Structure 1
Amino acid sequence: MMPLDPDPASPLGDFAVVHDFDAQGQLAGKSGDAVLWSWRNYTLVDARARRNLQSDESLPATIRDALLSPGDQFQISYDEGWMFGELPDLQHEHYGDPRELGYFRFAFNGTQFLSGRKHPLQAVDDTKRAIQTGKLKPARPLELFNAIFRRFLDLLRIEITSLSATLDSIEDRIVGENWQGERERLVPVRRQIVVFHRYLSAATALFRDIDHADRRSFPEDIDDLIEDLSRRAVTLHGEGEQLQRRARLLQDELLAKMTDRSNRLLYILSVMTAVLLPTTVISGLFGMNTGGLPFAESSRGFAIVSFVALAVSLFVFLAVRKIGGSGR
């Protein structure tokens, strides 16, 4: 899915995309109805966009500062009839790492929705495409805010579902004793789970930072929306935590199996070393090039020494097996 090209008819130029909506949430240019509200989406890495926002005296100073702030910090605020802040969003799959977070700045009131981003963002682009194809018809800016953040949560849910299916496959092989090579699959999956859990934490923290005093100052429709989105984010965060626990348990079980196999190999090596040690000592003694060695002149000396070495080795083997069996 490629991002949408800037609107060539935009009066602001190629550093911003402008969409006008009628009362039914349709694009006003297609329906021919009167414009009820508009969405202006800026490319904040473009100096012209920043100058345009800075010189827009119709915007409150707090809104201009929020959109042009040099730092990045996920937060939501409400002041003088404007809801504004910074939302998390995944970077666009064709123009960045889709598993990395981006920052979506926004501000809206009853008639305007202003937004800006430094990188192409997936949820914003998907929402914009749904509007242009007629699948989404936001009748007011609040519905656009709802659609963008819900799409971000849906993208995270899709990724979590995919990671859960991968964990199911790894778990089946570990339980079925076909776990060789699964560590190479589990390590990157767990790393991705940790990353997405961090994203979900950022999403839930957005609403956790809004204290009760702020919530009381919200209009009823905004307060209801914030509560609904917060509930969805918390639910998805719980699913991410459960997935993270599963990945950790599977890694622990896999490490236990690897440790058990290493212990069995070490046990075999220990038995072989103990069995061969008497033979090595005896062969070393009788291999010394000195006088007075027993059986040196006997025609059966080699057979006698070999029999003694084998007998001692057999005795050591039985003793080690008995000790090993009682200790396991």
Structure 2
Amino acid sequence: MDVRVSDNGARTAPVAGNAHTISGLIPGLVWAFHIHDDGSAEQLPVDKPVASNHEGWRWLHLDLANVQTRHWLGSMDLPSAGLATLLTDNPHQQLHFGESLIHGVFADLLRNIDGASNDIGHLHFMMTDRLLISGRHHALSSVQCAREQIERGACRLPHVAALLELIVEHLADGIDDATDRLAIELDQVEDGLAEGSPNSARQKLSGNRRIAVRLHRQLSGLRALFHRLERQNIDALPPKLRIAVGKLAQRLDDLDHAVLELRERGHRLQEELSQLLTEESNRHLGILSILTVLFLPPTLVTGFFGMNVKGMPLNANETDVFWATALLIASPFVVYFIMRRIGMFKSRRTP
């Protein structure tokens, strides 16, 4: 009985189809490997036709943003369920398996010139016991790391499920590295807050909290897929398609706990930042209030002597202007002396 699991828990129709053979020139082929029965890998040229008869199994990685690739996939005799997963635009993570086919969509970190970034892309794949076809719209970190490890000869892949496990392991490594970078940046934010400079930490903290939320969303969906798969009867799969679900789920659980801790830490730092910004705003308002009070008496004096009516004091002699000026200058000092007497300028000791 076929079982199909997605990250929203939905079940769909059964999967049909067995291992299929692919040959000829493949448009949009990013790389291809032929894996021999002993687990050793041989890289195939992407600009030459792929032979149909072979021992072992193959990994084909495609550029799904290439229109010709999508047309080629549609023309191939592939299982309809696996083909639909490769071509879907649904951004939800999903994992489906049947008697002879596993296919799904995993969220992964995008890869740029400098390495893995914090942006999220999606890896589409389908695999039988002799073929794994993966595809992406943008360069992804986990499959690139798996490719580099295979090219170095640092691993042997006895069966196709070992390749999927390797990709998920590198996916987890990428998230682990992103978590380390996030922890370092949060340390810098915390140092800035301890030094009393919240403005420099505000923008960085907002970006870090957004990254932590996206990483947790990615991990929680992936964890749910493997935990649901763990509860299913995967022993019905052929041995070459049996994934080490328990080990991968445990690794993802540990990573998600670390990301949750960083998210909570970011939340606490955000509260501390808000408190510091509030205190700074209150200090500015306090200074503005003091200046307003100090300049209020001169404004009152200027307004009083500026009235053009008869009988105004200090309006009879030419020297009265000096007395009015002295009163204008002395009035803020009188207010300042009164404010000091009532303790408005006492320094506040921080507890």
Would you call these one fold, judging by a TM-score over 0.5?
yes
Q: Could you tell me how far apart the structure 1 residues matched to 2:260 and 2:140 are?
A: 25
Identical columns (%): 26
TM-score for both structures, normalised by structure 2: 0.74
SS of the residue aligned with 1:91? strand
Please point out which of 232, 254, 267 is paired with 1:248.
267
- Which deviates further from its counterpart, 192-201 or 261-270? 192-201
Contact 1:127/1:147 (CA < 8 Å) preserved in 2?
A: yes
Aligned CA RMSD, in angstroms, stands at 3.6
Identify the residue that residue 217 of structure 2 maps to in structure 1: 198
After superposition, residues 216-235 of structure 1 pair within 5 angstroms as: 217=236, 225-235=244-254
After superposition, residues 138-217 of structure 1 pair within 5 angstroms as: 138-210=157-229, 212-213=231-232, 217=236
After superposition, residues 310-325 of structure 1 pair within 5 angstroms as: 313-314=335-336, 316-318=338-340, 321=343
Identify the residue that residue 24 of structure 1 maps to in structure 2: 38
Q: Which amino acid aligns with 1:291?
A: K
Q: For the structure 1 residues 168 and 317, does the alpha-carbon distance in structure 2 shift closer, same or farther, using more than 3 Å as the test?
A: same
Q: Could you tell me how far apart the structure 1 residues matched to 2:330 and 2:241 are?
A: 92
Q: Could you tell me how far apart the structure 1 residues matched to 2:207 and 2:252 are?
A: 24
Which runs of no fewer than 5 residues in structure 2 stay unpaired? Answer: 1-22, 45-53
Contact 1:75/1:209 (CA < 8 Å) preserved in 2?
A: no
Q: For the structure 1 residues 323 and 288, does the alpha-carbon distance in structure 2 shift closer, same or farther, using more than 3 Å as the test?
A: same
Q: Could you tell me how far apart the structure 1 residues matched to 2:73 and 2:107 are?
A: 21
* Structure number with higher helix proportion: 1
Identify the residue that residue 259 of structure 1 maps to in structure 2: 278
How far does residue 308 in structure 1 lie from its aligned partner after superposition?
7.8
Q: Which amino acid aligns with 1:313?
A: V
Identify the residue that residue 5 of structure 1 maps to in structure 2: none
Contact 1:111/1:141 (CA < 8 Å) preserved in 2?
A: yes
Identify the residue that residue 286 of structure 1 maps to in structure 2: 305
Please point out which of 38, 43, 61 is paired with 1:41.
61
Q: For the structure 1 residues 214 and 322, does the alpha-carbon distance in structure 2 shift closer, same or farther, using more than 3 Å as the test?
A: same
Q: For the structure 1 residues 264 and 61, does the alpha-carbon distance in structure 2 shift closer, same or farther, using more than 3 Å as the test?
A: closer
Q: For the structure 1 residues 219 and 26, does the alpha-carbon distance in structure 2 shift closer, same or farther, using more than 3 Å as the test?
A: closer
Identify the residue that residue 3 of structure 1 maps to in structure 2: none
Q: Could you tell me how far apart the structure 2 residues matched to 1:308 and 1:115 are?
A: 83
Please list the CA deviations of residues 186-240 of structure 1 after superposition, one character each: whole Å capped at 9, or x if unmatched.
Answer: 3333333333333323322433554734557557896761122122112212211
Identify the residue that residue 126 of structure 1 maps to in structure 2: 145
Q: Could you tell me how far apart the structure 1 residues matched to 2:61 and 2:158 are?
A: 17
Contact 2:223/2:253 (CA < 8 Å) preserved in 1?
A: yes
Q: Could you tell me how far apart the structure 1 residues matched to 2:88 and 2:203 are?
A: 42
TM-score for both structures, normalised by structure 1: 0.79
Contact 1:83/1:109 (CA < 8 Å) preserved in 2?
A: yes
Contact 1:105/1:117 (CA < 8 Å) preserved in 2?
A: yes
Q: How many matched pairs?
A: 314
Q: For the structure 1 residues 101 and 181, does the alpha-carbon distance in structure 2 shift closer, same or farther, using more than 3 Å as the test?
A: closer
Please list the CA deviations of residues 96-129 of structure 1 after superposition, one character each: whole Å capped at 9, or x if unmatched.
Answer: 9933322222222333222222333221122112
Q: Which amino acid aligns with 2:323?
A: F
Q: For the structure 1 residues 75 and 214, does the alpha-carbon distance in structure 2 shift closer, same or farther, using more than 3 Å as the test?
A: farther
How far does residue 138 in structure 1 lie from its aligned partner after superposition?
1.2
How far does residue 158 in structure 1 lie from its aligned partner after superposition?
0.7
How far does residue 154 in structure 1 lie from its aligned partner after superposition?
0.7
Contact 1:95/1:120 (CA < 8 Å) preserved in 2?
A: no
Q: Which amino acid aligns with 2:276?
A: K
- Which deviates further from its counterpart, 292-301 or 18-27? 292-301
Q: Could you tell me how far apart the structure 2 residues matched to 1:80 and 1:177 are?
A: 61
Q: For the structure 1 residues 281 and 213, does the alpha-carbon distance in structure 2 shift closer, same or farther, using more than 3 Å as the test?
A: same
Identify the residue that residue 122 of structure 2 maps to in structure 1: 103
Q: For the structure 1 residues 323 and 55, does the alpha-carbon distance in structure 2 shift closer, same or farther, using more than 3 Å as the test?
A: closer
Which runs of no fewer than 5 residues in structure 1 stay unpaired? Answer: 1-9
SS of the residue aligned with 2:132? strand
- Which deviates further from its counterpart, 263-272 or 290-299? 290-299
Q: Which amino acid aligns with 1:38?
A: R
Please list the CA deviations of residues 269-316 of structure 1 after superposition, one character each: whole Å capped at 9, or x if unmatched.
Answer: 212222332343234323434332335457688188469846752565
SS of the residue aligned with 1:139? coil
Q: Could you tell me how far apart the structure 1 residues matched to 2:43 and 2:266 are?
A: 50
Contact 2:159/2:241 (CA < 8 Å) preserved in 1?
A: no
How far does residue 161 in structure 1 lie from its aligned partner after superposition?
0.5
